[in-house]
Structure 1
């Protein structure tokens, strides 16, 4: 098994490509070892040490390291943990816990929200997945779109620029009701 790695715009995050499917659909985000209990793969990665986050996509795993840890010191252990997981035959997820997607929204803005989700799914999410992250819809209130940033996008130095100059401009162009885009914590 050959696992490729790619840097991301976030220096604290590295993208691992195992060359086989990770999740059949959606994504899963784990910010603590306790959260990762639903994923044997994420649990192995946290057990390697120095890890503060694991994000699972359809064909990649994004790992966020602690500030006081160097990639050169933990990368071999992470590669080993991912390889051991796939050789074990264990599932990536034991349940749907940790899986994330768009928040539900109904009411008078349902049509606008549907357009927002469609643009996110077709134009935004594929692009940020290339960088090892994901952005999901969280809410819409009085023209303001609230988005949840995960994986490499969470804590990325360029995430504010991506939100304001990229996503906000895109949504405002296609959906006049959108006036602003804000991240949620």
Structure 2
């Protein structure tokens, strides 16, 4: 098994490409070892000293490190953990329901149509571009009274120095152009 690594715009995050599907649908962000208990792979990665965040995308894993640790010392144990997981045949999640999503709010009428347009743009144009950098952007909510769209930045995008520029210059401009009801985009915590 050959695992490629790619730098991301966030110097504290590396993207690992195992050459196979990681998550069939969606993505999953692990912010600490407690959250990582849902996945054997995520837990194994958090066992590597210096790992502070793990993110699963469709065909990649991004790993965030503590600024006090260096990638040359972390890459080998991270690569070993990823290789061991995929060669073992273990499932990604202990409980199949763990991969399920977010966004439980129900929108109606014209607002539902606006939200559908926003989600379509995110899924077809924005998320694929962001995934190339090892991250993801997920819809959180839309406030029809103010026109504000709230999004979650995940993976390499979370905490990236250029994420606010990406959010404002790229995502906000595109959403405002195609969905005139959008007035602004903000990052949900």
TM-score, normalization by structure 2:
0.93
Identify the residue that residue 111 of structure 1 maps to in structure 2.
113
CA-based RMSD: 1.3
Looking at structure 2, the residues matched to 18 and 90 of structure 1 have their Cα atoms a distance apart, in angstroms, of 15
Q: Does 1:6 align with 2:2?
A: no
- Kept in 2, the 8 Å contact 1:29–1:100? The answer is no
**Ranges of 4+ aligned residues in structure 1 off by more than 2 Å:** 95-105
Question: What 5-or-longer segments of structure 2 have no aligned partner?
Answer: none
Looking at structure 2, the residues matched to 69 and 89 of structure 1 have their Cα atoms a distance apart, in angstroms, of 30
- Kept in 2, the 8 Å contact 1:29–1:99? The answer is no
- Kept in 2, the 8 Å contact 1:103–1:137? The answer is no
- Kept in 2, the 8 Å contact 1:38–1:98? The answer is no
State the SS of the aligned residue for 1:121.
helix
Identify the residue that residue 161 of structure 1 maps to in structure 2.
165
Question: Would you say how many aligned residue pairs link Structure 1 and Structure 2?
Answer: 185
Q: Does 1:150 align with 2:154?
A: yes
State the SS of the aligned residue for 2:37.
helix
- Kept in 2, the 8 Å contact 1:62–1:151? The answer is yes
Identify the residue that residue 20 of structure 1 maps to in structure 2.
20
Cα deviation, 1:48-79, whole Å, max 9, x if unaligned, reads 22111100011100000012111111111100
Question: What 5-or-longer segments of structure 1 have no aligned partner?
Answer: none
Looking at structure 2, the residues matched to 32 and 75 of structure 1 have their Cα atoms a distance apart, in angstroms, of 19
Q: Does 1:175 align with 2:176?
A: no
Q: Which moved more, 1:28-37 or 1:88-97?
A: 88-97
TM-score, normalization by structure 1:
0.95
Looking at structure 2, the residues matched to 82 and 15 of structure 1 have their Cα atoms a distance apart, in angstroms, of 12
